[in-house]
Amino acid sequence: MDDRRIMVPLPDAGRMAAIVDAIENRMAHLRRQSVVDGLLANAHAPYIRPGRVGTELRRRIAAEGRVA
């Protein structure tokens, strides 16, 4: 069995934390965006309820020229 390993220097703890933070923030943004995109794609569906979220979606839909 071959025990050779490739050693890769890791960034210091502060830089690692910043990298992980940036990745998590980006993933959270993409998750939120995909939810909004999904709702916009199904804007004709009756489950867009009245209220703040529904109003915001209708505003975005209107801005895109779609009918809600």
- Judge whether 62 lies within some domain: yes
- Judge whether 10 lies within some domain: no
- Judge whether 49 lies within some domain: yes
- Judge whether 16 lies within some domain: no
| pTM attached to this predicted model | 0.40
- Judge whether 13 lies within some domain: no
Instruction: Using DSSP, state whether 62 is helix, strand or coil.
Output: helix
What average pLDDT does this structure show over 53-68? Answer: 68
- Judge whether 64 lies within some domain: yes
Q: pLDDT, tens digit, for every residue of 11-25?
A: 788 888 888 889 888
- Judge whether 37 lies within some domain: yes
Q: pLDDT, tens digit, for every residue of 25-42?
A: 888 888 888 887 777 777
Q: How many domains does the chain have?
A: 1
| pLDDT higher at 30 or 43 | 30
Pair 43, 68: CB distance under 8 Å: yes
Domain assignment of residue 37, given as a range? 31-68
Contacts 24+ apart (CB under 8 A), 41-49: 43/68, 44/68
